[in-house]
């Protein structure tokens, strides 16, 4: 166990805060360095859906389910440590088909849910869909009712991870990291604009900015930012009883009675400006699902940059050629879901030298042949 010196975590998104929390629970009081603030990037603006059964590459599915189970345990732990709920709950979803050709893919999702403990699914005829939500479009050919996914308020979840980590001894500080000091294969300090922090272990949880560390480490970290935009809408009438999944947009019932409509996916570099094109696209998708959305007003239009690796798998584990640096990034659109798995896996590697979590497919050395 690393007890002799400081552990520094660079980045206070969901992954970095989860690492800090699990390390603190293991008795290691890390320093978390963040340039902007806790949860101020993608982790604070994500829709917070916890869906471990679809939209996930096959090699990632074991870790996705392990992370989901960790989430459920964390809900009570974080509330006990911070005194506040992160608006976590199990949710139901209506996935809508507008064309018969979509149904084979729906069947695969149905079978996955039916085969998974704690999850369920059943088919709905259009009349049954409209009984559950009369405001939905009449153009539906079939629906799929899904139960068992979770949801959290992603900003509350991330900040409560940070507060719980602090309660167990972690420290958070502002700082703009510019590099690492090295001695042979070990990093000895984190270099910031504001000064230098000596350390025995470093975790880089830098989200879409992770590849800035390539020259510091001399190894590839091929992470790119995937831009996503979400509209938070005030819908007249009753709130949604179910999340609604459509082909071009989805509607999520969230706090304050708002309906979140999202999300776009665009490779736009580090562009964080809300786009009129995305706004129109999402509104059109919302109205296609529910014509009543034409009367909704936009309460907020948010943008986040998700960190994505070329194979859509996260990067979790010890950095190649560095004895005391770990990478925790690349959660992509599943970053909130995967964060406790990433956090606990990194904490396990530091404290025990191994982890039982399924991170084999996410090893950083898989990119060893890529030019840094």
Domain extent, residue 115, equals 93-145+236-306
Compute CA distances 175 → 31, 91, 190, 294, whole Å.
11, 38, 10, 44
Residue 285 located in a structural domain: yes
Residues 15 and 78 in one domain: yes
How many Å apart are CA 370 and CA 372, to the nearest integer? Answer: 6
Q: Which of 291, 306, 321 is the last residue of a domain?
A: 306
Q: Mind giving me the DSSP string for 97-158?
A: ESSGGGHHHHHHHHHHHHHSTT-EEEEE-HHHHHHH-TTS-TT-SEEEEEEEEEE--HHHHH
Residue 242 located in a structural domain: yes
Structure tokens at 78: 């974080």
Burial of 46 (0-12, 13-18, 19+ CB in 10 A): buried
H/E stretch holding 184 reads none
Total structural domains within the chain: 2
Q: Which of 264, 291, 306 is the last residue of a domain?
A: 306
How many Å apart are CA 361 and CA 335, to the nearest integer? Answer: 16
Compute mean pLDDT per 10 residues along the chain, 372 residues long, and list them. 66 98 96 93 94 95 98 96 94 96 96 97 98 96 98 97 96 95 94 92 97 95 98 92 93 91 96 97 96 95 97 97 96 97 98 97 89 56
Residue 231 located in a structural domain: no
Cis peptide bond prior to 158, omega within 30° of 0: no
Residues 249 and 284 in one domain: yes
The pLDDT score that the predictor gives to residue 266 is: 97
Residues 140 and 158 in one domain: no
Residues 201 and 120 in one domain: no
Answer positive or negative: Cα dihedral of 209, 211, 215, 218: positive
Residues 315 and 302 in one domain: no
Q: Is there a contact between 330 and 307 (Cβ–Cβ < 8 Å)?
A: yes
Residues 217 and 195 in one domain: yes
The pLDDT score that the predictor gives to residue 4 is: 33
Residues 15 and 58 in one domain: yes
The pairing of beta strand 7-10 with beta strand 243-245? unpaired
CATH code at 166?
Answer: 3.50.50.60
CATH code at 108?
Answer: 3.30.9.10
Residue 230 located in a structural domain: no
Q: pTM for the full model?
A: 0.95
Residue 2 located in a structural domain: no
């Amino acid at each position: 166990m690393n007890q002799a010196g400081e552990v520094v975590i660079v980045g206070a998104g969901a992954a970095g805060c989860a690492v800090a929390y699990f390390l603190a629970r293991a008795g290691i009081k890390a320093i978390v360095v963040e340039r902007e603030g806790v949860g101020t990037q993608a982790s604070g603006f994500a829709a917070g859906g916890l869906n471990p059964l679809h939209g996930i590459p096959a090699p990632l599915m074991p870790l996705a389910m392990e992370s989901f189970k960790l989430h459920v345990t964390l809900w009570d732990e974080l509330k006990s440590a911070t005194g506040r709920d992160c608006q976590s709950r199990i949710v139901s979803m209506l996935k809508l088909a507008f064309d018969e050709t979509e149904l084979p893919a729906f069947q695969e999702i149905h079978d996955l849910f039916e085969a998974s403990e704690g999850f369920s699914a059943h088919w709905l005829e259009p009349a049954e869909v409209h009984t559950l939500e009369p405001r939905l479009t009449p153009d539906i050919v079939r629906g799929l009712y899904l139960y068992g996914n979770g949801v959290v308020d992603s900003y509350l979840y991330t900040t409560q991870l940070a507060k719980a980590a602090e309660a167990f001894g972690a420290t958070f500080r502002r700082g703009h990291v510019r590099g690492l000091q090295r001695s042979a294969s070990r990093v000895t300090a984190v270099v910031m604009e504001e000064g230098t922090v000596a350390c025995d272990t470093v975790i880089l949880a830098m989200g879409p900015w992770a590849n800035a560390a390539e020259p510091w480490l001399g190894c590839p970290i091929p992470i790119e930012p995937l831009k996503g935009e979400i509209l938070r809408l005030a819908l007249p009438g009753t709130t949604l009883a179910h999340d609604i999944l459509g082909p071009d947009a989805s509607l999520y019932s969230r706090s304050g009675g708002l309906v979140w409509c999202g999300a776009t996916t665009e490779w736009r570099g580090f562009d964080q400006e809300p786009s009129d094109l995305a706004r129109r696209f999402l509104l059109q998708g919302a109205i296609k699902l529910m014509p009543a959305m034409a009367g909704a007003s936009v309460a907020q239009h948010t943008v986040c940059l998700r960190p994505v690796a070329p194979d859509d798998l996260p990067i979790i584990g010890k950095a190649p050629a560095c004895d005391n640096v770990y990478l925790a990034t690349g959660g992509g659109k599943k970053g909130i879901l995967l964060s406790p798995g990433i956090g606990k896996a990194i904490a396990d590697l530091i404290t025990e030298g191994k982890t039982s979590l399924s991170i084999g497919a996410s090893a950083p050395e898989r990119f060893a042949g890529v030019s840094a």
